[in-house]
Amino acid sequence: MLQPFEEEQIEVPIPEELPLLPVRDLVIFPYMVFPIFVGRPFSIKAIEEAIENHDRYIFLALQKDKDIEEPGGDDLYQIGTVATILRMMRLDDDRIKILVQGVARGKIQELRKESDLYKVKIQVFEEKETYEENIEVEALKHSIRDLIDKAVSLGKQIIPDLLDIIKSVEEPGKLADLVASILDLKSEEAQKILEIVDPLERLRKVHDLLLKEVGLLEIQHKIRTAARESMEKDQREYFLRQQIKAIQEELGERDERQEEIEQYRKKIEESGMPEDVKKEAEKQLKRLEKMHPDSAEAGVIRTYLDWLVELPWNKRTKDKLDLKRAKKILDEDHYDLEKVKERILEYLAVQKLKKDRAIKGPILCFVGPPGVGKTSLGKSIARALGRKFVRQSLGGVRDEAEIRGHRRTYVGALPGRIIQAIKQAGTKNPVLMLDEVDKLASDFRGDPASALLEVLDPEQNKEFVDHYLGVPFDLSEVMFICTANRIDTIPRPLLDRMEVIRIPGYSEEEKLYIAKNYLIPRQLKETGLKPKYVEFTDAGLKFLIRHYTREAGVRSLERQINAVLRKIAKEIALSGKKKKYRITKSLVKKFLGAPLYMPEKEKEDEIGVVTGLAWTEVGGEILKIEATKMPGKGQLILTGSLGDVMKESAMTALSYVKSKAEEYRIDPKDFQKYDVHVHVPAGAIPKDGPSAGISIATAICSLFTQLPVRSDVAMTGEITLRGKVLPVGGLKEKILAAKRAGIKDVILPKDNKDEVMEDIPPFARRDINLIFVEHIDEVFKIAIKDFEKRIKKKRGRKKKD
């Protein structure tokens, strides 16, 4: 316990040599009175020596490591405190308790041990009795006194007598030491203050430490006050609620909370949910009833119950089974697409004959390039059936919880997209369109495509369990329609659950009809123009289709029609005069500027250059395949961002031409003397697939026979090592691409003939000659000039021999 210090007690001069008392975790400052318990023999000896021979003076030095029992010179801090022993008392356990008072700072000059006793020669630092006063000293003293008052007001315990002494002391050094003695410091921090000899610098340091301690006291006080106020507020609210409850009971009024519970109970009864779901809802309602209404868990349960009671467990729209009406609606909204319309009418016919709800909703997948009407077709189907229509885009979805929902343990959890769509529809048998199903992704959060397996399986989706709901919901009556641009990116198990309906691109004639009957009327309405002021000529529309769009669908065509109509609207708005505009080629060019696309076909027949046909996500394209040779060692060089399958097609083609070298009058040594380089332009675009096989073979054969390839012939088909031409896909898009490019003859695999004749209407086959082949030799005879003559000459020579 600290005791007040009075300066008159120090009268005897301090000896140069004193006994040493090492202290473990305590720093005694000058002017400080403090009790010390001593137990080590050499320390007890030092106290006895001090009392007997050194006028009660002893030197106190802090140990660097408190666990060392017998410290040496390196284990002690060199600067310590000269102290005088005021009292000594022996305890029962052979320890001594002394009361010491700090006198002055001192530094160890020499340390020695003699007869179980440490003695030190010291240099005493004389404290200036007077100190030149300045503004900084005065400011520091005033600030320290104010801070001490504040610390006391915040609960710091200081002996009142010591507080009075601190307020009366004027010497900076003495004030600093007294204040340091009351601070809550670690021994290392206290030692650093003790080692500061300059009084002003020591006063600054002590001031900073006191300021920090007062700051901590303020924070602690604030925390305690806030905690106390919060407890008082909670208690006050609790008592008030209890009083309100008692008053309401006396008056016979209903509790709002009880009303909420009753409303939920009523909604559960009216929702028509299955018995097992109803049990779960009632269980959660009982939990809510027992909880505090403002708790976080109560909010989670309310949201969950809202979802349960708002889902259409037993609500469905009645299908309109009038087939003639449905056909009329489908024809009004979309041109052609006969396969899709036929499938919907078949569904309605079966539903009509069955006359019950046991029929499962079909799961269709529309596959085709952008802009052919896949998404809008879903709306038309819903309108024809008289069902609600909801759409969910799956493009870029990579989290499995997006489909199945998040568990309620997560903050902000919600059901998945399927249940959200059902709630949005308000019926359990809507037309639900899952757009861009081919663009699903997967990562560490799961594979959403795998989660769709259950949704799109009629045998499983009768009891689809969303993670958020945790109870089964019947999806078997939902009519699912998926859309995709390509099939190869859809996982095979998922594809197996869907009925794929391909929607190919449109021919020029079909686009012309769609523009006249669908796009132009819609855009006239959008731009506010009346049909009597605008007339599109066939020539003008064809020019717009050929030279300003290049697509399988009609989305870009509609944008260009809109651009033309906007120009007309601007002219009418500026001039204020309404006149009839007849849209011709020249007017299209005037409004839209220079043509964006020109015909792509080669103007001249060239050796080693073949026009191939390719299928892309946006429709068909013509593909120029070039081959050249240069002196080398018979290597095959392939460029143009080709995939593995396309590279293998090129190797197969070269191997076949090599095997027929003698028949085609090619010197076999040429294959060893020359390197063959096959390139497919637009090298930055990745290309893959086997359908360029006959095109590459034709280019290589032309290269080694030095016969040109016809520029007005395009081809597609896979080749085998025996020269057979195998079927490929995407033929309608490829044929339309050839027609756009002005190609006369298109060579196709014979196995695709029935498909082509069925998919492509007669008017689309006009002005183009489709040639179906079984063997690559037939391709060479058609596409390579004078190839047949070359073969005949070779055969004639064999007969003479």
Q: What are phi and psi of 670, to 5 degrees?
A: -65, -30
Count of alpha carbons within 13 angstroms of residue 575, beta-carbon side: 9
Q: What are phi and psi of 316, to 5 degrees?
A: -150, 150
Tell me whether residue 73 is annotated as binding. no
Tell me whether residue 369 is annotated as binding. yes
Tell me whether residue 370 is annotated as binding. yes
Tell me whether residue 371 is annotated as binding. yes
Among the listed residues 428, 511, 734, 739, the single catalytic one is 734
CA 122 – CA 239 distance, rounded (Å):
70
Among the listed residues 43, 476, 649, 691, the single catalytic one is 691
The question of whether 734 is a catalytic residue gets the answer yes
What letter would DSSP give residue 786? T
Vertex 785 angle, CA 780 and 789, to 5°: 85
Tell me whether residue 374 is annotated as binding. yes
CA 464 – CA 456 distance, rounded (Å):
10
Could you give the C-alpha distances from 579 to 185, 510, 751, in angstroms and in order? 95, 30, 55
| Sign of the dihedral through C-alpha 281, 286, 291, 292 | positive
Q: Strand 619-631 vs strand 674-679: parallel, antiparallel, or unpaired?
A: antiparallel
The question of whether 691 is a catalytic residue gets the answer yes
Secondary structure in 3-state letters for 343-384: HHHHHHHHHHHHCCCCCCCCEEEEECCCCCCHHHHHHHHHHH
Q: What are the structure tokens assigned to 423, written together?
A: 């709630």
Identify each DSSP E strand in 455-598 by its residue range.
464-465, 472-473, 479-484, 499-502, 534-536, 581-583
First-to-last CA distance in the chain?
132
- List, edge to edge, every strand of the sheet that includes 499-502: 389-393, 431-435, 479-484, 363-367, 499-502
CA 739 – CA 769 distance, rounded (Å):
10
For residue 479, list its beta bridge partners. 431
Amino acid identity, position 757 = M
Q: DSSP for 1-48?
A: ------GGG--SPPPSEEEEEEESS--PPBT-EEEEEE-SHHHHHHHH
Tell me whether residue 368 is annotated as binding. yes
**Counts of helices then strands in the chain (DSSP H, E):** 29, 24
CA 66 – CA 45 distance, rounded (Å):
19
5 by Cβ neighbours in 10 Å (0-12 / 13-18 / 19+) ranks as buried
- Binding site per annotation, positions for ATP: 368-375
Question: Which parts are annotated binding residues?
Answer: 368-375
Q: What amino acid positions are annotated as catalytic residues? A: 691, 734
